[in-house]
Amino acid sequence: MAARIERSRAGGATWTPSAEAERPTWGWIWQAVSGALVLGLVTLHMIANHFVVKQGLRDFQDVVAYLSNPVILVLEVLFLFVVSWHGLLGLRAVIFDFGFSPRTERRITRVLIVAWVLTVLYGLWLTSTVIGYK
């Protein structure tokens, strides 16, 4: 699937809307948006969890204290939602490269959405369990 990009007369770039294959897919747009979010969140996550921590890893007590900070909690949970979404959407793009029928592709999409929901639920369970140790 190819998309044609042209410079408009105003100097900016626009999508040529003519042919069926020449629009960005919803998957691609979501991938770009989630990718931008992941970029910021993963940078924060790596710095906050490893690069400013003595020895690069918190012991149990410090993990509980860290996650008990409401701002941190919101950022880490947001990171969980977005990074698993971005990763599974990327996996979908790789799987789709094998060239399946539209029906199979829809099925794969459903399976990956279920996988995303399960991942998020697991992460939320784990987070609440850890905070419960406080």
Partner 1 sequence: MSEQVRLRGGEPGLAAPTVPGASRPVSPRRRGPLGWVDVRGRRLGSWAFILNRLTGLGVLLYLYLHLVILSQLARGPAAWDSFVSLALSPAFLLLDVVLLFGLLAHGLNGIRVTLVGFGLVIDRQKAMFAAFMVLGALVLLVGALRIFTTG
Positions in the binding site for partner 1 (CB under 8 A): 1-7, 12-15, 19, 21, 24-25, 27-28, 32, 35-36, 38-39, 42, 46, 51, 54-61, 63, 83-84, 87-88, 90-91, 93-94, 96-99, 119, 122-123, 126, 129-130, 133
Q: Are 112 and 91 in contact (CB under 8 A)?
A: yes
Q: Whole-number minimum distance, CB 79 to partner 1, in Å?
A: 11
Q: Whole-number minimum distance, CB 20 to partner 1, in Å?
A: 11
Q: Whole-number minimum distance, CB 39 to partner 1, in Å?
A: 5
- Looking at the Cβ atoms of 74 and 122, the one nearer to partner 1 is 122
Q: Whole-number minimum distance, CB 71 to partner 1, in Å?
A: 20
Question: Nearest 5 degrees, angle CA 126-CA 131-CA 134?
Answer: 145
Q: Are 69 and 35 in contact (CB under 8 A)?
A: no
Closest CA to 84 of 41, 128, 129, 43: 41
Instruction: Report the C-alpha gap between 32 and 38 in whole angstroms.
Output: 10
